[in-house]
Chains A and B, each alone.
Chain A
Amino acid sequence: MTNGRTSNQALPLPAWGIRLESRKVDSETGAIKKMPPPGELIVALKQNIGVPAETIVQPGERVLKGQPIAIASRWGLSVAVHAPTSGAVMAIEERPIPVAGGGTGESVIIEPDGKEERYAGYVAQMNSKRLPPPQIRNEIMEAGIVGMGGALFPTATKLNPGSGIQALILNGVECEPYISADNALLTERSDQVLRGAAIMLAALDCDECLVAVKADMAEAQAAVQAAIDALGDDRISLVVVPAFYPAGGERQLIELITGKEVQAGGLPWDVGVVCQNVGTAAAVAKFFDEGEPLISRIVTVTGDGVGTAANIEVMIGTPIVDLVEFAGGYTDDAAGLVMGGPMMGFSLPHDQLPVTKATNCILVAGQAELDPSVREMPCIRCGECARVCPAALMPQQLLALARGPDYEALESQGLQDCIQCGCCDYVCPSYIPLTSRFIEAKQGLWENHLVSQRSALALRRFDARGERLERRESDRSDELQRQVDEIGPAGEIDADALRQLKQRVKSKKPGDKT
């Protein structure tokens, strides 16, 4: 699987990607801070890719910390949502939620009572690693755990790949600048991450786990190695990944570690690998060890625009405005608010948005930290974008095709394989917003597909109708023949009259009622 690599071995440098200044120092100093419940929690019901959870509480009801307030929907990928603390449900209503492009989602509004009273429905399970895999998956589903690297894929689903998984990769790479939530987690709580890894290995029936940490995160590497040594579990090893962006992308990480490519349209388990975020592993361990479902997470709050950059453990649903306040409030320099890192994170229009299970970083950028909008120039085909593209695309060609747009060529030249990492934008000397163009073109391609699908459906139904009309016609003439045969010998009908009769019946329009 790992080509005989032992732990601690550094991987070869990738042929793609860019080196970025990490800017993580600020938030690495000091321990993870724990934020007390804010005045109001906005718990969005859509915390994962797929379908929102279905609420099971009423406004006015009192809920306890960790109590399920919404259960997984049956209509698609979905996970449960729990009350982050004890308090009263004030309302269940549409609220703005932090998603790319903006939008609202049904949310449960909870007013914490500050008592932190625990829900008694979940208890610690010390025998977790000996549970049968389906039960482990059910428990993880029950705990509302999703991929915490930002993908939000329900973890239980990802742990159910059938047989033949050779390795579990725990992704602690965090290749984007600023973000250090996973780094802090690994530095302080590696043991918890590894306990979660062991449970996941049990669920996967797999014997190898690689904890991937970036080359420039020495503290985290040391902590992971120490935890591995302390645990004495030789199934788990540390693997150091080059400090390249986007080495933390799932497919890129798999390629770096195993040398294998996940085929387009395929999933990592096709190559015998399952990738999970280290934060996800910690959440799994927390549920089995302490009976606490996923109700909080570590968020990096950073940037020149915030008082004190820090990694803060915060309840899901905490409004960003309160989170920033806890981190020392805005500075005069605050110019932009981004959820995620500077490469793939998206701008937030305001701070009245809640933290979700996906919020790994709140970047309150200062003036100097965001690139001023620069004047776009035409592409000079320098090819730097193709050099850095982790999907081996040729962004300069795709850009030209998107001008058309020539959807056929865009598709054959891999538009769908673009992972929107932003590397091409970063290296473009003409400052062309390539990623935005590709997102637009993908939208157009999707609409184009829809049109041709509709056209194919219409053709199928039109042909089916033609056959149906033909069948009806032939049934009718058979029936006529049968009637003629019946009365033929008795009645004296001459051939001419019969032909006329047949003609008349045939000429009746199909629409006429007989």
Chain B
Amino acid sequence: MKFASNAAPHWLGAESVAVLMRQVLYALVPALIVLVWFFGAGIILNILVAAVVALGSEALVLRIRKRPVGLFISDYSALVTAVLLAMSLPPLTPWWITATGTVFAIVFAKHLYGGLGYNVFNPAMVGYAVLLVSFPEDMAAWPLPRNITPDQQTLSLFTVLQYWATGSVPADVTVDALSAATPLNSVKGQLGMMRTMPEIVGDPLFGNLAGHGWEWINAATALGGGWLLYRRIIRWQIPTAMLAGLLAPALVFYIVDPATHPSPAFHLLSGGTMLGIFFIATDPVSAAASNRGRLIYGLGIGIITYVIRNWGAYPDGIAFAVLLMNLAVPVIDRYTRPRIYGHGA
């Protein structure tokens, strides 16, 4: 009897890339729900635009490059990039801004480097940073979260749609409700005006710890992140190190001078901290390879994020920190190779 020959091993035990990516999408659901609750349905529009543009541009590039379109589209990686980018954007973002960022993320940051697995920089963060420097005003324009808007409601769907399609709003909508400062933004601006932290956080915008709504968004994001850890889709090294890199300086400076430095809890639960820790820094392709390297990588992102938040001109620094550490990854990898069995002590 004759048999087909295959190379060893004959057993495979892993879940596919597509399954892993799908889990990441599921893990984002709690954060998405809270985000919509506080800021309205605009975020859903962002995701739709980003997803359509991401899949479309990915399919286009794959076709041009004569790569199997179906195989790579169905790995969900473009979708994950799109959703992460969309969830970083303000809920009121005109469609062309979202589309521009997505094209940069998918085409420039991912496919010009060779597609899945080869990108040096985190595609979602490239897209985000491009938008941040190209459309600074739009990117800072977050509406007020539910309950502290004048009418205690999020913006009506009609307003959102109109803004989404045209970039302007009906005359009867107050600009305040549309583009308030985020807590991170507000802290930066008011500290610049010589107000102290205790005064600043008295504002209802700040909620209990780190900004009304933002606390819950970050908590929900962390919940999804915890699930990814539990499912072993991400490992503990990068989140832990990034947390340490952000919290350690925050704690030190808070103890030294609480009047001009936000508390560690504020840093932990405001802005995109949790999204960065669990979903963005943990992108394996653009992260360091070894466990030791990942600790350094995460620590670097945390520290740079704190430095930019505290002393830089931009309210949040996660995207920049991720890009900078992405750049450092090959050098980190070079110096953090584990000792091979049988070589040295």
21 A-B Cβ contacts within 8 A? A261-B342, A262-B342, A263-B342, A265-B342, A340-B8, A345-B8, A347-B5, A348-B3, A350-B1, A378-B116, A380-B17, A380-B285, A382-B284, A383-B291, A384-B14, A386-B338, A387-B291, A397-B289, A425-B9, A429-B20, A430-B16
Contact with B along A387-414 (1 / 0, CB 8 A): 1001111101100000000000000011
Alpha-carbon distance between A10 and B160 when the two chains are bound, in angstroms: 64
Q: Answer whether residue B339 sits at the interface, using C-beta atoms and an 8 A cutoff.
A: yes
List B residues 1-44 near A (Cβ within 8 Å): 1-17, 19-20
Q: Answer whether residue A422 sits at the interface, using C-beta atoms and an 8 A cutoff.
A: yes
Q: Given A377-B17, A380-B285, are A431 and B339 also a contact pair (CB < 8 Å)?
A: no
Q: Answer whether residue B230 sits at the interface, using C-beta atoms and an 8 A cutoff.
A: no
Whether A344 and B9, one on each chain, are in contact in the complex, defined by CB atoms closer than 8 angstroms, is yes
Instruction: Name the one of B10, B15, B16 contacting A365, with C-beta atoms under 8 angstroms.
Output: B10
Q: Given A251-B341, A264-B342, A429-B17, are A380 and B11 also a contact pair (CB < 8 Å)?
A: no
Closest to B232 in A: A384
Q: Answer whether residue B333 sits at the interface, using C-beta atoms and an 8 A cutoff.
A: yes
Interface residues on B, range: 35 or more
Q: Answer whether residue A379 sits at the interface, using C-beta atoms and an 8 A cutoff.
A: yes
Q: Answer whether residue A130 sits at the interface, using C-beta atoms and an 8 A cutoff.
A: no
Alpha-carbon distance between A365 and B1 when the two chains are bound, in angstroms: 13
Alpha-carbon distance between A335 and B290 when the two chains are bound, in angstroms: 39
Shortest CB–CB separation between residue B297 and chain A, in angstroms?
12
Whether A349 and B8, one on each chain, are in contact in the complex, defined by CB atoms closer than 8 angstroms, is no
Q: Given A378-B115, A381-B284, are A334 and B341 also a contact pair (CB < 8 Å)?
A: no
Whether B3 and A378, one on each chain, are in contact in the complex, defined by CB atoms closer than 8 angstroms, is no
Q: What are the residues of chain B within 8 A of A365 when measuring CB–CB?
A: 10
B: residues with CB less than 8 A from A are 1-17, 19-20, 71, 75, 77, 114-118, 235, 284-285, 287, 289-291, 294, 333, 337-343
Closest to A384 in B: B14
Alpha-carbon distance between A265 and B77 when the two chains are bound, in angstroms: 42
Q: What are the residues of chain B within 8 A of A433 when measuring CB–CB?
A: 7
Q: Given A347-B5, A381-B117, are A417 and B341 also a contact pair (CB < 8 Å)?
A: yes
Q: Which of A63-71, A368-376, A460-468, A478-486 interfaces with chain B? A: A368-376
Question: For the complex, would chain A's binding face be called helix, strand, loop or mixed by DSSP majority?
Answer: loop
Q: Answer whether residue A346 sits at the interface, using C-beta atoms and an 8 A cutoff.
A: yes
Whether A335 and B17, one on each chain, are in contact in the complex, defined by CB atoms closer than 8 angstroms, is no
Q: Given A426-B13, A429-B20, are A381 and B342 also a contact pair (CB < 8 Å)?
A: no
Q: What are the residues of chain B within 8 A of A430 when measuring CB–CB?
A: 16-17, 117
Shortest CB–CB separation between residue A73 and chain B, in angstroms?
29
Whether A371 and B12, one on each chain, are in contact in the complex, defined by CB atoms closer than 8 angstroms, is yes
Whether A413 and B11, one on each chain, are in contact in the complex, defined by CB atoms closer than 8 angstroms, is no
Whether A386 and B289, one on each chain, are in contact in the complex, defined by CB atoms closer than 8 angstroms, is yes
Whether B117 and A417, one on each chain, are in contact in the complex, defined by CB atoms closer than 8 angstroms, is no
Q: Given A262-B342, A344-B8, A391-B341, are A377 and B116 also a contact pair (CB < 8 Å)?
A: yes
The 8 A-B residue pairs with the shortest CB-CB distance, nearest first, are A422-B9, A378-B117, A347-B5, A264-B342, A414-B340, A342-B10, A337-B3, A391-B341
Q: Answer whether residue A50 sits at the interface, using C-beta atoms and an 8 A cutoff.
A: no
